[in-house]
Amino acid sequence: MKTYIKLLLFGIASLLSSCESWLDLKPVTQATEDEIFSTAEGYRSTLNGLYKNMGKSSLYGMNLSFAMLDGFSQQYDLSPENNGMDEFQAYGAMNYSQTGVASRIEATWLAAYNVVANANNLIQNLIENTTPELFEFGEVERNMILGEAYACRALMQFDMLRLFAPAPISDDGANYVPYVEQYPNIQPAGISVNECINKVITDLERARELVYDFDTSALAMNAVCTGDARFYNKFPTFTELASKPSALSSFFKGRGYRLNYYSMTALLARAYQYAGKYDEAFEAADDVLKFKYEASQWDKFTFYEFKTTGIMTGMDNKFSTFEGKSNLRLVDNLIFAVYNEKAYDELGLGTYFMKESGGSHGQYFVVKTNSIFKSSTGVDESGSDIRFTKMIFLANDKQPLSGKWFCHDDEAKRKANVTILPVIRGTEMQYIMAECYARKGIWTEAAKILNEIRHARGCWDDVSFNTWEDFVKELVVDARREWISEGQLFYLYKRLNAEVDFGKGEKRPFKRQEAVVPMPESQSM
């Protein structure tokens, strides 16, 4: 097995009108490592390359979001009349050996460890070959790039652990995925689940310390205080950046697309939970939900609120109604996403979320709304839950698809939505806190959190429970709706060994051979 990594020097491209961001860079030429790492711009460009690669179809563009993982999680009706692709039908069957599926799995492995290799190369060069004087903003900028590189390698290897190894609840103590910390590393050895998750936590804790000084400054908090600020560089009126955008360099903006202090804290909450460190998970999740920016005594902004601005237009699920909607990514609730300027074309979104198929079967990811919007007691809540009434559109006026991936005819509207590829939401922090309460038998507090989520989405019938099994049922009911086409449900089922609805009356946890996706035979990197 041999590692061969290409590094690209990125040049500045024209900035999008909606996002004046350093992320809008594109590769223009190959360069030697020495050339790349001789300037601060080379370090910025290499960091940018990590995030850009995360937005490709093999990672958060498709495989780890709406397509492969959500196919595995039984979210879709992938029968031939809805989806004519054998590969996509095999997602629903969890047939990992099917040629197309096996190819997707290998592509995900290769892409993830490519990001890791480039992150490690960046880390080593920063530590061994730079001083703060190289960078325009000195130690602050050097620490930011270094911290984000640590966080990128942690995120990628955490998701490879979640995909290719058993969850801790089913851990057999064997070695599975490697945790690569050096560049180059020709043939890294697999390690145990426990060792791997602890390395993830160590990297995220170290990364968070490195970005703390900048990200907790007033200007930096102004830059992430709302979804519009984080993802569109549109800052709230009467804040400093609204009146003087030049107060912050473009490199330090657009941090919703980058792993900042707040998104690192959210990922730590996720990692602590995975490791069974529930007190630490609760504290980190609670911190995330309490983050706020106070521009004045009158202007206060809680970072990760759930807001329905833009999605409430119209009274039906027709695709024509969705042309008038905006904010389908619900960015105020979004903590971290990756960016792909060419997502519509590169990911083939116009095919998978086509409004009319003209009589052909299409390649649709049809959401199983009939089961997803049933309560734990069998009540149909599709008429009240805005995750159906406002966030599901009907292709061909009959096939329910995720409105999060709706592709507007208007190019500007379309790009404002589909270029944002969600990775972690504020709602997950609420789920983590609810679970931590439930594990301690504090049922009323756990139910209170789930009911807060439900109320905000139009479901006013409260849920209650007094056993762990019933809590898990209610958590799964809500998560199936909240995470439609975002790639997180598979991990939830697996981590909790929760019951999965396979349809036709079959409800059971994943079998081991379903929960643990097989690593590619070559395990190339």
Cβ contact 435:274 at 8 Å: no
The predicted pLDDT at position 29 comes to 40
Mean pLDDT within 28-34: 58
Q: Is the pLDDT of residue 17 over 50?
A: no
The predicted pLDDT at position 330 comes to 98
Mean pLDDT within 164-170: 98
384 compared with 186, residue with greater pLDDT: 384
In the chain, the largest separation of any two C-alpha atoms, in whole Å, equals: 65
- Please name the fold of domain 319-515: 1.25.40
Mean pLDDT within 481-500: 99
Tell me which amino acid residue 186 is: I
The predicted pLDDT at position 391 comes to 99
Confidence at 26, pLDDT banded by 50, 70, 90: very low
Cβ contact 185:116 at 8 Å: no
The DSSP code for 518 is P
Mean pLDDT within 282-293: 97
The predicted pLDDT at position 524 comes to 64
Q: Is the pLDDT of residue 126 over 80?
A: yes
**Which residues lie across from 10 on neighbouring strands?**
27
Count of CB atoms situated within 10 Å of the CB of 411: 10
Q: Is the pLDDT of residue 469 over 60?
A: yes
Confidence at 525, pLDDT banded by 50, 70, 90: low
Report the C-alpha dihedral over residues 489, 492, 495, 500, rounded to 10 degrees.
Answer: -70
The pTM for the full model equals 0.94
Mean pLDDT within 328-337: 98
What is the residue-averaged pLDDT of the chain?
A: 93
Mean pLDDT within 290-307: 90
The predicted pLDDT at position 13 comes to 31
**Which residues lie across from 175 on neighbouring strands?**
192
Confidence at 31, pLDDT banded by 50, 70, 90: low
* Alpha-carbon distances, residue 115 vs 16, 47, 134, 446 (angstroms): 25, 10, 24, 37
Tell me which amino acid residue 417 is: N
Q: Is the pLDDT of residue 28 over 80?
A: no
The DSSP code for 374 is B
The predicted pLDDT at position 360 comes to 66
- The answer to which of 10-14, 259-263, 443-447, 482-486 has the lowest mean pLDDT is 10-14
pLDDT in tens, 310-320: 999 999 999 99
Mean pLDDT within 9-18: 31
Confidence at 299, pLDDT banded by 50, 70, 90: confident
The predicted pLDDT at position 3 comes to 38
Q: Is the pLDDT of residue 102 over 70?
A: yes
- The answer to which of 218-222, 246-250, 451-455, 521-525 has the lowest mean pLDDT is 521-525
Q: Is the pLDDT of residue 289 over 80?
A: yes
The predicted pLDDT at position 362 comes to 79
The predicted pLDDT at position 197 comes to 99
The predicted pLDDT at position 14 comes to 30
The predicted pLDDT at position 357 comes to 83
Mean pLDDT within 276-292: 98
Cβ contact 319:355 at 8 Å: yes
Confidence at 8, pLDDT banded by 50, 70, 90: very low
Confidence at 359, pLDDT banded by 50, 70, 90: low
Q: Is the pLDDT of residue 214 over 90?
A: yes
Q: What is the DSSP string of 404-470?
A: GG---SSHHHHHHHHTEEEEEEHHHHHHHHHHHHHHTT-HHHHHHHHHHHHHHTT--S----SSHHH
Distance CA 154, CA 207 (A): 9
